[in-house]
Amino acid sequence: MVEPTDRSSTAGQRLGAPESFGVSTLEPGLRPPTQPPGKLVSIRVQMLDDTQEVFQISQRSPGKVLFDLVCAHLNLTEGDYFGLEYQDQRKMTVWLDLLKPTLKQIRRPKNTILRFVVKFFPPDHTQLMEELTRYLFALQIKHDLACGRLICNDTSAALMVSHIIQSEIGDFDDTQSWQHLLHNKYLPDQDAIRDKITDCHRKHVGQTPAESDYQLLEIARRLEMYGIRLHPAKDREGIKLNLAVAHTGVLVFQGYTKINAFNWSKIRKLSFKRKRFLIKLRADPNSHHDTLEFAMASRDCCKIFWKICVEYHAFFRLFEEPKPKPKPILFTRGSSFRFSGRTQKQIIDYVKDSELKKVPFERKHSKILSMPPQSSSFKSHMPKEVIHHHYPSSGDSPLGSPHVVVNGNGPVNDQVMGSPSVLGPGQSPERQQLSPLTSPLLTEAGYVRNDDEDEARRKKFPTDKAYFIAKELLTTERTYLKDLQVITESFQSIVGKDEAFPDPVKNLISANYDPVYKFHQGFLKEVEQRLAQWEGRSNAHIKGDYQRIGDVLLKNIQGLRQLTIHLQKHSECLVELERACRTSRKVETLCREFEQQRVCYLPFNIFLLRPLHRLLHYKLILERLCKHYPPTHDDFRDCRAALADISEMVLQLQGTMMKMENFQKLLELKKDLTGIDGLVIPGREFIRLGCLSKLSGKGLQQRMFFLFSDSLIYTSRGMTPSNQFKVHGQLPLYGMTIRESEEEWGVPHSFTLFGQRQSVVVAASCAAEMERWVEDIRLAIDLAEQSSSPDTDLLSSSLSENTEQEMEDELCSSRSSLERQGHRGNTTVHVCWHRNTSVSMVDFSVAVENQLSGNLLRKFKNSNGWQKLWVVFTNFSLFFYKSHQDDYPLASLPLLGYSVTVPSESENIHKDYVFKLHFKSHVYYFRSESEYTFERWMEVIRSATCSASRSLPSTRKDLY
């Protein structure tokens, strides 16, 4: 029901965050911090209970603003024990610096998820004064146990898990406890000690969740690995060790065994020099060494560990926050980093001196109330599993009444429709459930619909937003299955007939893609059947039995987990296929000829990555469903369980995915470039490609630049039939400096690159492009200077090794074989050349997630009718088909450089859900079927057009 205006809002609603039904307070508490003026940016934060919240911060806000927003959302008084961590551009986990601007630290705000976790582990949990704080610490212990970070013996592990279960489901019940352990993973090797866990659980009868948290922390704090985060290092003899920091000082581990400890009282100074981490000890007549030296993987690793040591020392040893150092007048030396926030003593004193009201909060995983309700709002915020005994919902009303959905910009009334409980006057259940959509199977492709009739049907028979989210699953699954067919049918039928193609590679691809294809055939059928029932093509919809999708998703995602071993092998397929192409000219020719076929509308290697990318799509769809549904909805529990499963799969395969993406991009660029050998080498990462003008004796000349982690290559477009780009120069990044030089040369948006052997003056097309290039080049220079040795990673190093005895038809020429063959000349590189723009690896990663399929009506600028087309958005382009059953697109529209807007009044497009694409004189109009699909198309297209500031902070609303 619509909430009364006088009821207490949650902290999350007060801050404009979407509903997540995780840890949240029920009454007003801490005030959100004031923010500097400027555009707002959405930042996603994952809480300790695995929910995600979106916070809006100003572009100039320091990290402390975001951190305070999170604490205010939770009403967390003792927030200084916690921190926000994330993966930076070097794929290293770092803490958000509270003093620096957030957006100077996070380069991909809309694609970065920060994690709110415990940062400082006190020696005694009784120092934590608030029940909420202890609950969050208990969640951290639960995470550390599950991921294998908190190492302990079986007895301690079983006892801790038993307290967690007591907190979640209450007193021991033989059947319920056993089932709960079967469906929840608390330990990596849980099955081996399941009996021990249940024996311990039997002894906790009557124990409240708060008492369970207390007991859990009591056991955990006595463990040697409690709160320990290991940082790999080596001693002077090259023996592998691990460094860690605790409230007592710096610790040294060999494996998981502590072999030394240096208390703060004994340490005179901590420092680092390049890759060496130094501990300088106070003078001790019993010690021969006053300086200990450890080698770490890189300077960054040293600095990250040094920072956390500085913070741990300040937090536990100082009485108050250290004051900032005065800025030197002439020279700076060393890092200006300092600890920011209250010390532990300040927190304890503050809580003791303040008469803080105990605020109720929810435990996401618990079926037991942690504190008695103190307001009328409590009932409506309780999780479904808590309230279903007292407030049973009608089986005829699965969707419920209208309710309020809160997005990043405040409350929006979102009418939940399609339920018999909200029928209008004179409407029957049968008519209410009629779908306003016509199945593509029943219509002629290109049919021009009667617009008035279509509008009337849409307004008369509104449909729940969940239906359109489920329909997005259906439409994208159809495209995904077609993409799998390119591998399992089209490609395999070609290579199966050719004796030159090696059988091991053929069998490897078949063994690891065919089962995935077969599985998704069944998955698609189930989704199609459910959508048909949801739309009302049978009588089942009258009771609402089929107006859900979570059960289908949960069943199939659990089935998909059984295919993880095949998904992990896809990187090997990519490597082996490339090795076969390098070894045999016939195999390479065969693959290149296949890429010229219309069915292969993208570079073939992209299809090989599709199964891993599809996992991301399932995760995003389930996140939208979980945010849309109230926790009391019949579909919410299945969706939440499915989301947990798919999130675990994504996390497990994320490293493989990132390596494959970089490797695939290097292979793709190898086809576009000529005049360079060994583009794919160990440790090289692609960063950005695009157009810049190079200043020479002949003036400014258009050149294509390719930025990698070790070098910058510039090229000109060749005049060969394949339109490859010919390399003119290669600038090593090591030792390079960069200077903006617009005033010096009188050229707008120009900057100079000073290399060790030459300098180059270049100009970007606009200020935004210049900013992207300068930022990425500076990042690449840092990477080049800090990586002392190449990172040997599986995907690239396996190709650079000496191959076996090469065959007679090996590629003996230094030229790429593509010079001898036709090459599709409409790649991303060519589009960037013609549209005078650039694309980064960040953009490619974003594009992976932003894929969409579905029916759209298209109209040209000077035409009258609307043509219905099946449209697929992927790889920065729209691909147009007559219907979803077609094997190849009729046409495509690359979107780099385009703008996407809503038509103005003067354009006389008097229709709902219309967006406009335009580039110079090219204008196209597209109509979608609902507000949800309109917003989705706008969102994904913005990610590929110049209107989206692609590597700068996004100000897009988080709508879902």
Sign of the Cα pseudo-torsion (48, 225, 242, 190, in order): negative
What are the beta bridge partners of residue 94? 86
Per-residue pLDDT band at 348 (split at 50, 70, 90): confident
**Sheet of strand 82-87: strand arrangement:** 52-58, 40-46, 113-118, 82-87, 93-95
Per-residue pLDDT band at 392 (split at 50, 70, 90): very low
- Per-residue model confidence (pLDDT) at position 287: 62
- Per-residue model confidence (pLDDT) at position 413: 28
pLDDT higher than 60, residue 452 = no
Average pLDDT over every residue of 934-958: 62
pLDDT higher than 60, residue 837 = yes
**225 or 3, which is more confident:** 225
- Per-residue model confidence (pLDDT) at position 613: 94
Is residue 384 classed as helix, strand or coil in its secondary structure?
helix
Query: For 558-610, how does the pLDDT look when each residue is reduced to its tens digit (9 = 90+)?
Result: 999 999 999 999 999 999 999 999 999 999 999 999 998 999 999 999 999 99
Q: Up-side HSE of residue 98: CA atoms within 13 Å toward CB? A: 19
pLDDT higher than 90, residue 82 = yes
The values of phi and psi at residue 92, to 5°, are -105, 140
**Lowest-pLDDT range of 259-273, 348-362, 636-650:** 348-362
Q: Do 526 and 556 touch, CB atoms closer than 8 A?
A: yes
pLDDT higher than 60, residue 754 = yes
**Lowest-pLDDT range of 20-24, 805-809, 865-869, 880-884:** 805-809
| pLDDT cut 90: percent of the chain above it | 44
Average pLDDT over every residue of 441-452: 37
- Per-residue model confidence (pLDDT) at position 947: 40
Per-residue pLDDT band at 7 (split at 50, 70, 90): very low
Q: What is the architecture, at CATH level 2, of domain 230-317?
A: Roll (2.30)
Highest mean pLDDT among 5-9, 51-55, 107-111: 51-55
Is residue 295 classed as helix, strand or coil in its secondary structure?
strand
- Per-residue model confidence (pLDDT) at position 798: 37
- Per-residue model confidence (pLDDT) at position 237: 87
pLDDT higher than 80, residue 154 = yes
What is the rounded radius of gyration, in angstroms, for the C-alpha atoms of the chain? 30
pLDDT higher than 80, residue 67 = yes
On average, the pLDDT of the chain sits at: 78
pLDDT higher than 60, residue 401 = no
- Per-residue model confidence (pLDDT) at position 339: 74
> Domain spanning 465-669: which superfamily?
Dbl homology (DH) domain (1.20.900.10)
Average pLDDT over every residue of 916-930: 90
Query: What residue has token string 């087309």?
Result: 869
The domain made up of 675-787 has a fold known as PH-domain like (2.30.29)
**871 or 539, which is more confident:** 871
Query: For 229-281, how does the pLDDT look when each residue is reduced to its tens digit (9 = 90+)?
Result: 999 999 988 899 999 999 989 999 998 889 999 988 888 889 999 899 999 98
Per-residue pLDDT band at 226 (split at 50, 70, 90): very high
The values of phi and psi at residue 451, to 5°, are -65, -40
Domains 230-317 and 465-669 share a fold: no
Q: Do 303 and 319 touch, CB atoms closer than 8 A?
A: no
Amino acid letter, residue 936 = R
**CA–CA distance, 559 with 127 (Å, rounded to integer):** 45
Domain ranges for the chain, please list them: 40-188, 230-317, 465-669, 675-787, 851-943
Q: Do 13 and 380 touch, CB atoms closer than 8 A?
A: no
Query: What residue has token string 């605020």?
Result: 359
Q: Torsion angle, CA of 29/34/35/40, rounded to 10 degrees?
A: 40
Average pLDDT over every residue of 101-114: 88
Query: For 518-538, how does the pLDDT look when each residue is reduced to its tens digit (9 = 90+)?
Result: 999 999 999 999 988 888 655
Query: What residue has token string 């995600």?
Result: 52
CATH code of the domain made up of 851-943: 2.30.29.30
**109 or 376, which is more confident:** 109
Per-residue pLDDT band at 398 (split at 50, 70, 90): very low
pLDDT higher than 50, residue 960 = no
Nearest to 676 by CA among 819, 824, 838, 827: 819
Per-residue pLDDT band at 335 (split at 50, 70, 90): low
CATH 3.10.20.90 given to domain 40-188: yes
Average pLDDT over every residue of 343-347: 86
Query: For 418-444, how does the pLDDT look when each residue is reduced to its tens digit (9 = 90+)?
Result: 322 222 333 333 333 322 222 222 233
- Per-residue model confidence (pLDDT) at position 868: 92
Token pair, residue 402, equals 């209208």
Q: Is 38 left (phi over 0), alpha (psi -120 to 50) or beta?
A: left
| pLDDT cut 70: percent of the chain above it | 76
- Per-residue model confidence (pLDDT) at position 681: 86
Query: For 687-745, how does the pLDDT look when each residue is reduced to its tens digit (9 = 90+)?
Result: 999 999 888 776 788 899 999 999 999 998 876 666 789 998 899 998 899 988 776 67
- Per-residue model confidence (pLDDT) at position 321: 67
Q: Do 131 and 358 touch, CB atoms closer than 8 A?
A: yes
Is residue 833 classed as helix, strand or coil in its secondary structure?
helix
- Per-residue model confidence (pLDDT) at position 408: 30
- Per-residue model confidence (pLDDT) at position 926: 95
- Per-residue model confidence (pLDDT) at position 429: 32
Average pLDDT over every residue of 613-618: 94
